[in-house]
Structure formats: structure tokens, C-alpha cells
Amino acid sequence: MPRSEEGLILTQAIPAQIGGQPVLILREGTSRSRGRDAQRSNIMAARIISDVIKSSFGPKGMDKMLVDTLGDVTITGDGATILKEMDVEHPAAKMMVEVAKTTDDEVGDGTTSVVVFAGQLLKKAEELLDKNVHPTVIVDGYKLASDRALKVLSEIAIDVPPTDRKMLKKVAMTAMATKLVTEDKDYLADLAVEAILKVAEKDGDVYKVDIDNIEVEKKAGGSLVETKVIQGIAMEKEVVHPGMPKRIENAKIALLNTALEVEKTEISAEIRITSPGQMKTFLDEEERLMKDMADKIADAGANVVMCQKGIDDLVQHFLAKKNILTVRRVKESSMDKLAKATGGRVVTNLKDLTDKDLGKAKLVEERKLGDEEWTFIEGCVNPKALTILVRGGSEKVVDEAERSIHDALCVVRDVVRRPKVVAGGGAPEMEAASRLREWAGSISGRVQLAALGFAEALEVMPIALAESAGMDPIDVTVELRARHEKGERWAGVNVSEGKVEDMAKLDVYEPLAVKEQVVRSAAEVASMILRIDDVIASGKARMPAGPPGGPGAGEEGLESEY
Ligand SMILES: Nc1ncnc2c1ncn2[C@@H]1O[C@H](COP(=O)(O)OP(=O)(O)OP(=O)(O)O)[C@@H](O)[C@H]1O
Ligand SMILES: [Mg+2]
């Protein structure tokens, strides 16, 4: 099959006066595939990605174990993380990875949904392409249908008070139900709600939430219920000198981005010392310089130093003598957080340090967590600076707990920012599909086929949930369709009981923002992939996989059932 042309030598279009010589347009080694072949291989690659992560969708979804090139193991059911850890090569597959990442950045949840849905849209598109429906017609149909679906979603969404703790907790529990299968999610959901409400700021009629105010730190050991919110900052850093205090109340913190050492000259200089007296003067001078540093800090009124760089032993000694609690090699990101939290300013030249630059906190203390010493900065001037310290049985548990908390924080934030929710369990997708089918009757021509394809693709969500719970996908689809026809708006898949039920009664709620993002982004990425009819890859990049049966065709990926 002539699906790629090495070197792209174009001969036909060249005018005769050139003498019939082939003209090389692109560099040798460039490969190209176009038309249906390009489309097929792109669709296939994207669908394989979608099929890979489909099994981890929903509360009964399975986890994946990913091993990177260094042998590090990640165990997760989080779509964005799975895709991030997978070393994806194909450009169309990369687009799916990107859409999951964007969804994660925008709303924090729904990353599996968006990829699964986009994969299903492409599957439906493929069926239409086989019936000779032109890609642009499909793209137009998908656009109309996704606009309509967004409209339906916002119509059926329920308005809630933005700070309704009960509802926020339900939303957090739904997001975590798919990650941590333990009773601890109740506790962690409360914690996420508490954290977000603490950082939420009222701005006119709406709330603003800067999630960057919340730092999530993790430390293996203890149990998940020992996870807690700290009013301030916690870092895995110890106090540098044993002679220093381990606890300072009413801390005045100098934030330094400069090494507390005597700087070495850049040029190599040589000092000739001819007598022991000279040697002593030299050393005394060095000591004096270092003492000056400690004096300068003490004179500014600081009783705590957070230094981004290194600190000479002698400076540590002088600081200890002055009872100044000092921490060194603090991460740059932590320095920024410290500055924001304590109201201090990061000083890059010690000479500039004044009392105005000092940050303030009620307490700075070193405490032991597991085997390591941690420094806690609590009761900061800015009460919005929070740290969630995640504990758990093992490294892997803590990692997955961190991701669950991330999702929970994000969904709670989504609702606080935009207080609208829908029930979950595939109910909103089913309702949208059912209304889209009704509406599609009003569209004429082939675009209608695409719109109907979109509606069917939406049904992949409840079907995937049902499959993961071992239910029969056909029975579930039939029952769901019938119940939605009857007006049961929130009929969805109760995965724990294995039956179709009203998801609102089961308190399974999700932010409208997540559902909207999923529909919008999946439709966009599917359309983008469909519009490509020519893939020109330069010599360096590897050519995308060929059509089914060709090299690189993933066997499993093509055999999706619905
Ligand atoms: N108790 C439940 N019963 C039925 N469905 C549920 C329940 N809890 C959550 N769900 C559904 O599970 C789906 C979410 O699954 P999951 O969290 O695995 O994927 P995601 O949110 O799309 O991606 P990710 O969380 O990996 O970013 C949603 O459709 C949600 O409605
Ligand atoms: Mg989720």
C-alpha cells in the first residue's frame, strides 16, 4: 500500500522546462502519509490510548502499574498520571495525552473521561468515514452536537450555595471514590473541603480560590487518617545546628537567597604568608566577616533564618550563639510560598536586610515525622497559606492519596468557583444523549448522522462504568435509555450494587465544570484529529503507525466492543 513516500520527491507538478528532473522539496528521510491512511493511523493511535485507560474509569476501575526507564514504579488509577507516565510517541496519541493534561490543569478531574470520550467520538467518526461521510461534515456535526450537549448540561445542572459544606463533601467523595477504596475518604473529603473554604475569597458575588495557596506535602508512615491540614507551611528540613533553638514563638523570619559564606574569588589568587601573625590576621578577618553576617541578621531583628543557599559552619555557630533558628537549602518554590505566607521579602544581598523584610509567624518549630526532621511554620500573617501533610502506610499509598486529594481539592474548588453540580454515574451523559437524539431530528443532511454519532458516543461513560462493575452493557444501555425517556434525569449506574438507580439519591455529585470541560475538550481533540489529512514527518521523527495490520498496529486497541 503506497502510504508513505520516502523523501517526498515531487515530479508531476514540475514544469517541463526544468527538464523533467525530479525536484527534492523536503529533506531526505522525510516521510509522509495522507488521506484516509493518515486519518486511519491517527484515529487508531488515539483510540489505543483511550482503550488503555478505559479500564481504570470509575470507582470499580482497575489501577495501572507503570515502570519508568529508571525502574521507578507508579501505581495509579488517575488518567492524567497514567498518560504522563506513559512514554507516548505517536503525534495523535500525544494529542490525547495533552487533552488529559489540559483537563487536569483546568478542572483537576475528568481526565480519564475526556480521553475515553474522545476515543469513542473517533470510533463513531471512523464508522461514518467508512460510510463516506466527509470528515468536515463530521466535524461540523460534532461541533453542533457538543454545543447542544453543553446547553443541556447547564440546563439540568443543580444550583447549590457555593459554601454548602455538605454538598462540597459529596462532590469530594465522588472524586475520591474512584481513587481510594477505603473508609478514609470520608475523613479526607472533610479535609479537602476545610482547606478550600479556608483559602476561598469572596469577590463580589462569586468566590475566588487560589489553589496554589495549598501545598500538599507527603510523608510515608502513619496512616491516612493522620493526614492533616497545617495552618502554614511544612518542609522536610532540619535546623542546621544542634545549638540552635528548635522552637521559636513570634518568629521574625529572614528569607535569604544568598549563601552565608565567605565568597571565593573568581580568579585564583595566592596569598603569601610570611609569619604566623599574618596567618592569624587572615583567619581573624575571615571570622569577622562571618560574624558580621550573623550580627547583621540579628540586628535586623530576625530570630529565624530561611536560607535558599548554603551556610558556612562558622556562620551557623554564630547564629546559634544568637539563638537564631536556621534552615538552609530551602527549595525556591518553598521560599516563594514562605514569602507569600509570612509577608516577608526574599533578600538576595544580606546588606539590604532590614526589619521590614522580615516575615512573621506565630510559631516556627522543628518536629520529627517518621525518621526525618521537619520544620513547621505556623500561624502565618497570611492565613490563606495552608499545607496538607499526607501520611499513609507506604510510599505508594501516600502517592496515590496525594493524587486523590489533588482531585478532591480541585472539584471542591470548581464548585466553590461555579456553584453548579450534576449527579454522576453516567446520568448526565445519558440525559444529554437522550436529548441530543431528540434534537438531531431537526437537523437535515449528513450532519445529522454525526450529531447522532456524538449522542451515542456520550453513552460510553455509563457503559464503561457498567462494564467495570461486571454488568451487561446492553441491558444497562436499554434500561438507562428507557428511564431517561420517562424523565428520570439522574438515572445512572450504581456500580456498587450493580444496578441502574437515581444517582442524586445516592449522593454521587460532580461539578458541572468538569462535565463541561470533558465534553468541550473531547469534541475539540477529536475534531482536530479528524481534520488532519496529511502527516509529514521530518527524518528525525518516527512515522506514525500504519493502518490496521500494518507495523505498530496495536491489536488490543482496535477491538473495542462499542
Ligand atoms: N459511587 C459511584 N457510583 C457510580 N459512578 C460513580 C461513583 N463515583 C464516581 N462515579 C463516576 O466515575 C466517573 C469518574 O471516574 P474516574 O475518577 O475514574 O475518572 P475521571 O474523573 O474521568 O478521571 P480522573 O479522576 O482520573 O481524572 C464519573 O463519571 C463519576 O460519575
Ligand atoms: Mg475522577
Any idea which ligand is nearest the CA of 461? 1
- From the CA of 61, give the closest atom in ligand 1: 18
Q: Nearest 5°: CA angle at 118, between 122 and 77?
A: 135
Protein residues near ligand 2, an ion, with CB under 5 A: 109, 178
Instruction: Report in angstroms the alpha-carbon separations of 454 from 94, 151, 334, 338, 448.
Output: 22, 14, 46, 48, 10
- From the CA of 109, give the closest atom in ligand 1: 27
pLDDT at 182: 62
Distance between CA atoms of residues 311 and 175, nearest Å:
44
Q: Which amino acid is at 3?
A: R
Whose Cα sits closest to atom 15 in ligand 1? 58
pLDDT at 514: 94
Distance between CA atoms of residues 103 and 512, nearest Å:
13
Distance between CA atoms of residues 45 and 32, nearest Å:
16
DSSP code, position 275: S
Among 358, 354, 347, CA closest to 300: 354
Active site residues: 78, 111-112, 407
pLDDT digits (tens, 9 = 90+) for 192-236: 999 999 888 888 888 988 888 888 888 888 888 888 888 888 888
How far is ligand 1, taken at its centre, from the CA of residue 99, in Å?
17
- For the beta carbon of residue 339, count every other beta carbon within 10 angstroms: 18
How far is ligand 1, taken at its centre, from the CA of residue 86, in Å?
21
Segment-wise mean pLDDT, segments of 10 residues, the chain, 562 residues: 43 50 74 79 88 86 80 80 82 89 90 93 92 90 93 93 90 84 79 90 88 86 84 89 92 91 75 82 85 90 92 91 92 88 90 91 89 88 85 84 90 92 93 92 87 93 90 92 92 90 92 94 92 76 48 38 35
pTM score above 0.75: yes
> CB within 6 Å of ligand 1 — which residues?
57-59, 61, 78-80, 109-113, 174, 177-178, 407, 424-426, 461, 465, 493-495, 508, 510
pLDDT at 2: 42
Distance between CA atoms of residues 65 and 482, nearest Å:
38
Any idea which ligand is nearest the CA of 185? 1
Probe residue for ligand 1, chosen from 81, 106, 465 as the CB with the greatest number of ligand atoms within 8 Å: 465
Any idea which ligand is nearest the CA of 104? 1
How far is ligand 2, taken at its centre, from the CA of residue 121, in Å?
20
Q: Where are the alpha helices (DSSP H) in 251-305?
A: 276-299
